[in-house]
Amino acid sequence: METSLRQALLSDGDEIARLSAQLDYPTSRDQVVANLNELLADPNHGVLVVEGRRLELRGWIHVFKSHRIFAAPFAELGGVVVDKAERRRGVGANLMAAAEAWAVQEGCTTVRIRSNSKRQDAHAFYGALGYRPSKSQLVFEKAL
């Protein structure tokens, strides 16, 4: 399995949208490109992809530096998706290692992941990489 890890490009919009739909995050290429346009220009965000030999994406990860007034900055995952056909083959672990390296480079000493309570496979994956639950919380939102 020959792959390469690289920064995401605007031209990855279709593939990122395709992969996102696999985790029930339906989006359009246009929305992905609009978001990437902002994220790639912001040094507090890193978006990386794993590309296969035929230029198809096998996974993507978004990590960002999060600031709180009461705590040191930390890195947080905005999302990580591995193609269903590529799971359990090291793609996700490579993406996570790249996100951790990005975080260290940005001066962060912690990586935080928020994961939906129903994603038990993801929880096992994160646990196998040394991540441990640190708290339970509810997420509130309001449409504006």
> What does the pLDDT look like over 58-88, one tens digit per residue?
999 999 999 999 999 999 999 999 999 989 9
Is residue 83 within 8 Å of 59, Cβ to Cβ? yes
Residue 95 lies in a domain: yes
- C-alpha to C-alpha distance for 98 and 5, rounded to whole angstroms: 8
Residue with tokens 């395709």, as numbered in its chain = 18
Domain containing residue 15: 3-128
The answer as to whether 81 is a domain residue is yes
Q: Is residue 137 part of a domain?
A: no
pLDDT at residue 48 greater than cutoff 70: yes
- The helix (H) or strand (E) run that includes residue 39 is helix 29-39
Domain count within the chain: 1
Q: What pLDDT is stored for residue 1 in this prediction?
A: 57
Residue 41 lies in a domain: yes
Is 141 among the domain residues?
no
* 119: number of Cβ within 10 Å: 13
- Domain assignment present for 143: no
| CATH number (domain holding residue 89) | 3.40.630.30
Reduce the DSSP state of residue 77 to 3 states and report it: strand
